[in-house]
Structure 1
Amino acid sequence: MTFTDPPRQVAWRHKDLREGFEVVFIEPRWTVEGATAAIEDGDGFAVQYAIDLSPEWVTRSARVASFGRELHLLADGDGAWHIDGGPAPHLDGIFDVDLESSAFTNAFPVHRLALAVGESAEAPAAWVRFSSLTVERLEQRYTRLPDDAAGRARFDYWSPDLQCELVYDACGLVLDYPGIATRAA
């Protein structure tokens, strides 16, 4: 599966689980900057992030900040990670960062894996919780489904806490993340 180049700016409306917006700016040299501001369980939050990707959509580094707190992740591209300068062996073998506050980061494994219809792959991620800026290993699996009637790519997404169908646009960016977000622009 081949996706077209992403636009320079995209946005999602977060709904159901949280109410708010995420806006992402994509630089031509594989740097992504974004922010999410939302309300979840009656509490407001804001998260800013900058992620550097390889041309193969493998995470190289990520900086995540929220209200004076900041977290730095560095990946070597071969599955080894550092968090704030120290080794993070619990993330060994991971190629993607996944931000709890972001719909955008679900594009990384879809691009990187380039699954054909019917193929499935494990895609564990370095999952950053927005409330604590802690990083956990999140087991995930993506299974490529046939395109929908409009020709949009569909994937069955599985993690220990969630299973749903994700629909992507021609750029490989999620359009509908059930119960979490829909593409706004």
Structure 2
Amino acid sequence: MSGETIATMQWRALDRDGEDKCRLARLGAGWMLVGHARFRDGTGWAALDYVVRTDGDWRTTSADISGEYGGGAVGWRLLRDPTGTWQLNDTAQPQLDGAEDVDLGFTPATNLMPLRRLPEVGRLSTRAAWLRLPGPQVGILTQSYTRERGGLVAYEARESGYRTHLAVDAQGFVTTYPGLWEAAS
């Protein structure tokens, strides 16, 4: 399951104590993100490991999250079958049907998938299976990405009302997520 490493990224949180680091690897005909997020929120310290798998077109096929959160062990698995139907820990999630991506609300790593599909000139709209904490809570997050000059991408998440400009590197990783994350040196 290790795959050939293509790139790595590390961020530090700007809105709380925390860090995140991940590795992008080629895995068969698709891709895999393997990451480790450590942060403090209202429940205390969290240590979450995640593995996100995509097909060759950068659409999420599964996401596994495990570790410690809210004072206890957690283990969540989001799975999208070829018809676009989602499950969380083997329980159908019809509200997520048709989502192409996963957005793990505790890391900037999962912006990579839509950013890799974003054309050099233009815009991409997508629906993500949005996993938020505490919970987990899962729902749809409708996102739009518009490439601008200077490595910037205008980003909007409809359901949260969030809008910003993301700085993005050549691999497609966010390097600056204003007020939330920045790449660590």
Q: Determine if contact 2:6/2:26 at 8 Å carries over to the other structure.
A: no
TM-score between both structures, scaled by the size of structure 1: 0.84
Cα distance, 1:144–1:49 mapped onto 2, change above 3 Å:
same
Aligned to 1:10: 9
Matched to 1:75, the amino acid is R
**Amino-acid identity (%):** 29
Structure 1 stretches lacking a partner, 5+ long: none
1:155, 1:66 → 2: CA distance? 32
Structure 2 stretches lacking a partner, 5+ long: none
Q: Larger relative contact order (C-alpha < 8 A, sep ≥ 6)?
A: 1
1:62 Cα shift? 0.7
1:7 Cα shift? 3.9
Find runs of 4+ consecutive structure 1 residues off by over 6 angstroms: none
Aligned residue-pair number: 173
In proportion to residue count, which structure has more strand? 2
Aligned to 2:46: 45
Matched to 2:10, the amino acid is A
Indicate the RMSD between aligned Cα atoms, in angstroms: 2.0
2:128 aligned to which of 95, 116, 125 = 125
Deviation track 1:18-68 (CA, whole Å, cap 9, x = no partner) reads 221101122321222111111235832222111111121111111112321
Matched to 1:9, the amino acid is T
2:105, 2:147 → 1: CA distance? 22
TM-score between both structures, scaled by the size of structure 2: 0.84
Say yes or no: does 1:21 pair with 2:19. yes
1:144 Cα shift? 1.9
Say yes or no: does 1:138 pair with 2:136. no
